[in-house]
Amino acid sequence: MSQSAPALSTNAFLDDVLIGLGGQPKSLPCKYFYDERGSELFAQICELAAYYPTRTELEIMQCHSGEMAALIGPRARLVELGSGNSSKTRVLLDRLVRLEAYVPVDISSEYLTRAASALARDYPHVPVLPVSADYSRPFDLPRLLRAARTVVYFPGSTIGNLVPSEARRFLKVVARLAGPGGGLLIGVDLKKDPRILNVAYNDPEGVTAAFNLNLLVRINRELGGDFDIGRFRHEAFYDETHGRIEMQLVSTARQIVRVARTSHAFDQGESITTEYSYKYGLGEFERLAAQAGFVLRRAWTDEKSLFSVQYYAVDPSAPAGLR
Ligand code: AVJ
């Protein structure tokens, strides 16, 4: 995997925005939600009563971290993708034995540096080696010769942002990153009553709406856009056919928006898709992971089966192409 450029270049951001706004329907990649303000808003979302995933996953971790640590084993290298505020990671670090290193990987370098130094302070016996990178693109990991195995930790059901074909492709990359004898500990949000899902992404406090609209604020600030934020509204709904939440920004008027010498016409009611959040049945996700070269070792859920944390081993019998 070649060394990538710094975490996020404005050109890549601009290219992705122009491609998205040029599409039919229009779309914008959800990874651009996480500027400093976006990361703060997401941290607030995690505290909302309606947004059950974060607290439910933390509860599962607190109940089963001993079993997870036993499956991960001693002297591992723990690579966390999209590490954010690492609150769940601490539950794991409290139980892991002789960890060779903790490698948080995040696109938001300011956020990453702060979270990593706090962890290094609180876990002086764990080498913390942060990597500021966009993990959806190739990136390098610090070499650790003594590590018994590499375990990739991907919490929060961020895998749900990818359409299943992309998720399969991404999990293949993760299987290669973990390598022979390696593993994957992943958070997967489960299918459930659409009423629970719809309120989780349309919270009465309006934080998710602010998180969604902040993407336009960011485009205006960083790419010289002239989005009139007041003429777009947040919308999120559960699409049963695809088994996903879809988040959109809907134009409340006919309008022209300019971004970097390009102009984009919007009809009243026309939407920009900003995020998918796929929900899975337990068996459904196990099959997807198997197609990517993983074998399920254990799946933990909460009592109400709202969320799951799953541990996979890299399939030693997987065909070479998958290794
Ligand atoms: C961080 C991607 C898991 O999809 O539930 C929260 C982001 N979007 N509220 C999710 C999010 C709206 C979240 N993930």
pLDDT digit string, tens, across residues 106-141: 877 887 888 899 999 999 999 999 998 888 877 888
Ligand 1 atom at shortest distance from the alpha carbon of 236: 12
- The tokens for 195 are 């009423």
* Cis preceding-peptide flag for 25 (omega within 30 of 0): yes
For ligand 1, the distance from its centroid to the CA atom of residue 277, given in whole angstroms, is 7
Q: In sequence order, which residues have a C-beta less than 8 Å from that of residue 240 and are 6 or more positions away?
A: 194
Q: What percent of the chain has pLDDT over 70?
A: 93
How far apart CA 216 and CA 221 sit, in angstroms, is 9
For ligand 1, the distance from its centroid to the CA atom of residue 30, given in whole angstroms, is 9
Q: How confident is the model at residue 6 (pLDDT cuts 50, 70, 90)?
A: very low
Three-state SS at 59: helix
The CA radius of gyration of the chain, in Å to the nearest whole number, is 20
pLDDT on residue 5: 43
How far apart CA 209 and CA 155 sit, in angstroms, is 23
| Location of structure tokens 């859920």 | 301
Name the nearest CA neighbour of 273 among 255, 254, 246: 246
CA atoms within 13 A on the CB side of 147: 25
Beta pairing, strands 262-266 & 255-259: antiparallel
Q: Which of 32, 42, 203 to mutate to test the pocket of ligand 1 (most atoms within 8 A of CB)?
A: 42
For ligand 1, the distance from its centroid to the CA atom of residue 200, given in whole angstroms, is 10
Three-state SS at 70: helix
pLDDT digit string, tens, across residues 70-117: 999 999 999 999 866 678 999 999 999 889 999 999 877 887 888 899
Is 83 close to ligand 1, i.e. is its CB under 6 Å away? Answer: no
Average pLDDT, the chain: 92
Do the Cβ atoms of 119 and 47 come closer than 8 Å?
A: no
Is 54 close to ligand 1, i.e. is its CB under 6 Å away? Answer: no
pLDDT on residue 1: 39
> How far apart, in Å, do the first and last CA atoms of the chain sit?
14
Q: Which residues of 146-231 form beta strands (DSSP E)?
A: 149-154, 183-189
For the cut 60, the answer to whether the pLDDT of residue 64 exceeds it is: yes
pLDDT digit string, tens, across residues 263-272: 999 999 999 9
* φ and ψ of 195, to 5 deg: -65, -35
- pTM above the 0.95 mark? no
Is 271 close to ligand 1, i.e. is its CB under 6 Å away? Answer: no
Q: What is the largest CA-CA distance in the chain?
A: 60
| Location of structure tokens 């491609």 | 19
For ligand 1, the distance from its centroid to the CA atom of residue 201, given in whole angstroms, is 8
Is 56 close to ligand 1, i.e. is its CB under 6 Å away? Answer: no
Is 277 close to ligand 1, i.e. is its CB under 6 Å away? Answer: yes
- In a 10 Å sphere around its CB, with 0-12 CB exposed, 13-18 middle and 19+ buried, how is residue 80 labelled? buried
Is 39 close to ligand 1, i.e. is its CB under 6 Å away? Answer: no
How far apart CA 40 and CA 139 sit, in angstroms, is 25
How far apart CA 143 and CA 139 sit, in angstroms, is 12
137-143-144-145 Cα dihedral, nearest 10 degrees: 130
Do the Cβ atoms of 72 and 313 come closer than 8 Å?
A: no
Cα separation values, 316 from 179, 183, 293, 294, Å = 9, 11, 8, 9
Element (H, E) at 239: strand 232-239
Is 170 close to ligand 1, i.e. is its CB under 6 Å away? Answer: no
Is 161 close to ligand 1, i.e. is its CB under 6 Å away? Answer: yes
Ligand 1 atom at shortest distance from the alpha carbon of 245: 4
